[in-house]
Structure 1
Amino acid sequence: MTRRFLSSVAIMALGAGPAFGQSDSIGTLRQFGKTGTSSEAFQPVDQHGDYAGQLKMNLEQITLPPGFAIDLFAVVPDARHIAIGPQGVAVFVGTRKEEVWVATDRDKDRQADEVKRFAPSIRFNVPNGPCFSRNGVLYIAEQNRVLAFPAAEFFYESPDVAVEIVVPQRELIPPEEESFNHTARVCDIGPDDKLYIALGQPYNVPPPEKLETYDRVGMAGIIRLDRNGANREVYARGIRNSVGMDFRPETTELWFTDNQVDGMGDDTPPGELNRSTQPGQHFGFPWYGGGLVRTREYQDTEPPADAVPPVLEFEAHAADLGMMFYTGAQFPQKYRGGIFSAQHGSWNRTVPVGARVMFTPVEADGNAGEPEVFAAGWLMPSGEYMGRPVDVAQLSDGSILVSDDLAGAVYRISYQPPPAE
């Protein structure tokens, strides 16, 4: 597929073919044609107005460990999951709506100078999950489609971009299983150079008659496939709705968060951090609603005997989403090799919790230590949300980005060591 992508890029650089209608923009772009989309469709987002100023003021309420600072990186409407281009040219941000945004820091002051729509000639549907391959191909996992964009960092300046269909529309999940609930996909490229995609299922707890279908297609689980869409297989099962995953560096272990069952009480069941060490593992859902807490719906049936428990339990209903292993050198030693994760915040708890960034140390042998609050303050003492963190990603200088879909922003957290005495 890489050779085909590079050919696409070369042809587009030499000149576009005949124009096609907007209704078939994907077909047009695959034929290297122009869609006729105006540059006005980029819909640039103001980065210097009153709104940006207010967000900067709000950040004064955020607490961090000594030596750390948080700043506004970009105003990005509905900002969800983040993919940082491997060349350091641009940052791509998905949403649960119809837009993918691209932020460019042209003067390299670690603040975006420009934010605009990516590929506005394409109509996306819940393009929550962008991820990059190591050779610069951007993948976007939508509600029910997966697209790939070669050299996205270098062709995003045009409304028309080279695109390839990895999973066609309505083939990622069965069309009858499309829902407004649990449709925010995330993706990652594994050390095996395969594409991994988490597929949430639409129910709080699915009825038994749905389990065979979900097991077969990989819903309530994670699938993996070749980067051209071939050789799809179910990699992991028994996962209610994972919206954050990352491979532990120098291993083949896939770690992921999972959101627990709702409606079982304020303090139960816990959120999860899981570790997959090989294909075919089952992580207990729907027999377990979070941790080892059994669901009412399946309490009279036997769970899988080999169900893998989470390596770590988080506070109930904090809504643990995006996560990443920290591989940078800017932060102090205690953070290196550990996990930063975003808690979106509860919606069905009497007293809200979450809306913060957590840190979990991970030992060299793969054991997870106790999680601790790293950045907090988006949940105000009144119970009002000032922001809701979604994802974390690492810039090349070792600072990290945090997205916030309530405020419509991406923040940057950096570390400055104290001066030597």
Structure 2
Amino acid sequence: MMRIVGLAGLALVLATGAFAQQADQPLLSGEKAFGDWKADRPGVRRLLKPDDLPKPYLTESASNGGGLTDRPENARPKLPPGFSVELVASGIDNPRVVRVAPNGDLFVADSKANQIRVYRLAEGSAKPAETSVFAEGLTRPYGIAFYPPGDKPQWVYVANSDSVVRLPYRDGDLEASGKPQTIVAKIPANHHWTRDIAFSPDGKTLYLSVGSGSNIAEDMSDEPKGGVEDWAKSQPLGAAWGSEEGRADVLAFDPDGNNRRTVATGLRNCSGMTVQPATGALWCVVNERDELGDNVPFEYATAVKEGAFYGWPWYYIGDNEDPRYKGARTDLAGKVKLPDVLIQAHSAPLNIAFYDGANFPADYKGDAFVTLHGSWNRDVRTGYKVVRLRFKDGKPTGEYDDFATGFVIADDALWGRPVGVAVAKDGALILTEDGNGTIWRVTYGG
């Protein structure tokens, strides 16, 4: 990908630093919540509801995915007042998911390098005291989970694009002591390849997200063998068939990879999963479909309900029928589960982490952070930031705030694409971005 560097872009980064001092902005809703990167700054709040969805095709389908530049000198994420950020590492090939081991080590999936890297930070610092490659020779690794959950895991599970493997682990290991053992094999790997994993709090269930093999099931036959009616009787609600069978789903297994079952369907690309500490609920952040216009459909974060169907490919955000499948599955009308938090279209959410640390102000406790990678399918850029989902008494309010911005420096230039997010053992927030291959540590106060 061609990279560009310009003094004008750097000047814009520095000028927009003043915006980071503005917090507690008015709540933006409806069309006012759409905006673009120029309106983004820490503290901006948004609330989108299903009725705010525009009709499809109000704008032409745009392509706007280029413009990646080297990170300008001194450029860093812009944060709300009171927060600071330090660089942990740079020059990494493709840092994606980051997860924190019980002892505090940062495990980072370097997907293009086919590695899992480990960073052990000096106490109270962003400076790594030790770094290591925990495992290599993997296949586009992404999701990482420690098993069993708790203080003394014995395995590190890794979601490759085509399998789930596990490697032996003891507290403090910087390198795996054995080769990967395949737990789940033969996962379809084309198109959406980011497989995330998570364990239920009791450790009895391994969750696996498998994204779709296309935008809207273009290669799927019109009907399954035997017809739609017979298929629907024998499969989970909303299950796709043919080239999309077992995709756009969240699956579940026993920790040994046996007893496969389907948790939910119609999630086009659940690229990030986590378990909410307060409730034990599984959460997904989902990349929705493209080519319906700049603001259609909304992306989302949601608690994943057992047996639920979230719409793909026939419907989106409830009973909004995709015009490209008009009349194809009227049997599913009224059966589409609405997601919990709607996010601006084409933001490309990739990961989610609930804040359960002690470093941030008390009102952050129980809220969630979501990384928005940014999408190509919009005339003016959106996404490319980290947002905070608001919760009250363990339930989402539907509102979200801009938390970390500043990754875009001009209409045609950006230096960062947020991917991974995790809460460190000391309460700091760890962020990865794969535009320039950096890892960051965010803290509050002195």
TM-score, normalised to structure 2, is 0.73
Tell whether the 8 Å contact from 1:95 to 1:126 is kept in structure 2 after alignment: yes
Question: 1:403 maps to what in 2?
Answer: 432
Of 210-219 and 90-99, deviating more is 210-219
Instruction: Provide the residue aligned with 1:308 in structure 2.
Output: 337
- Over aligned residues, Cα RMSD in angstroms? 2.4
Q: Deviations over 1:289-323 (max 9, x none)?
A: 45654312222132353221111211110111100
Q: How far, CA to CA, are the matches of 1:234 and 1:214 in structure 2?
A: 16
Matching residue of 1:119:
135
Q: 1:191 aligns with which of 184, 198, 201?
A: 201
1:57 to 70, 74, 89: 74
Which moved further from structure 2: 369-378 or 304-313? 304-313
The one of 164, 169, 173 equivalent to 2:181 is 164
SS state of the match for residue 269, structure 1? Answer: coil
- The one-letter code sitting in structure 2 at the alignment partner of 1:397 is D
Whichever residue aligns with residue 119 of structure 1, its letter is: A
RCO comparison, higher one (Cα < 8 Å, 6+):
2
Once residues 175 and 240 of structure 2 are traced to their aligned partners in structure 1, the CA distance between those partners, rounded to angstroms, is: 45
Matched with 2:109 is 93
Measure, in 1, the Cα distance between the counterparts of 2:98 and 2:263. 23
Counterpart of 2:158 in structure 1 is: 140
Which of 321, 326, 346 does residue 355 from structure 2 map onto? 326
CA distance, structure 1, for counterparts of residue 142 and residue 396 of structure 2: 30
Which residue of the partner structure matches residue 110 of structure 1?
126
Look up the match of 1:232. Answer: 260
Correspondence list, 1:363-374, <5 A: 363-374=392-403
Is the alpha carbon distance of 1:276 and 1:214 closer, same or farther for their aligned partners in structure 2, counting shifts above 3 Å? Answer: farther
CA contact (8 A) 1:237 1:281 kept: yes
Q: Which residue of 2 aligns with 1:389?
A: 418
Deviation at 1:209, TM superposition (A): 4.6
Partner of 1:361: 390
Q: 1:364: how far off? A: 0.7
Q: TM-score, normalised by structure 1?
A: 0.77
Structure 1 runs not aligned, ≥5 long: 1-52
Structure 2 Cα separation of the partners of residues 201 and 361 of structure 1: 28
Aligned to 1:275: 303
Deviation, structure 1 residue 128: 1.3
1:113/1:93 Cα in 2 relative to 1: closer, same or farther (>3 Å)? farther
Equivalent pair of 1:354/1:379 in contact (CA under 8 Å): no
**Aligned mates of 1:66, 1:108 — CA distance in 2:** 20
Where does residue 84 of structure 2 map in the other structure? 69
Identity %: 28
Match of 2:388, SS?
strand
Letter matched to residue 281 of structure 1: A
Residues 265-289 of structure 1 deviation map (CA, whole Å, 9 limit, x = unaligned): 1111111111224x21111111224
4+ residue stretches of structure 1 with deviation over 6 A? Answer: 53-56
1:58-115 CA distances to partner (integer Å, 9 max, x unpaired)?
21xx321110011111223210001211122443334245222222225663322444
Task: Classify the secondary structure of the residue corresponding to 2:414.
Answer: coil
Q: Distance in 2 between matches of 1:358 and 1:71?
A: 18
Unpaired runs of at least 5, structure 2: 1-69, 225-238
Q: Which structure has the highest strand share of the two?
A: 2
Per-residue deviation, 1:355: 0.6
In structure 2, the partner of 1:344 is 373
Does residue 222 in structure 1 map to residue 250 in structure 2? Answer: yes
- Report the secondary structure of 1:321's partner residue: strand
Distance 2:387 2:307 in 1: 29
Q: Is the 8 A contact 1:388 1:406 kept in 2?
A: yes
Equivalenced residue count is: 352
Closer/same/farther in 2, CA of residues 152 and 124 from structure 1, 3 Å limit: farther
CA distance in 2, matches of 1:201, 1:383: 29
- Relative distance call for 1:292 and 1:67 in structure 2 (3 A) is farther
Counterparts of 2:316 and 2:131, CA distance in 1: 39
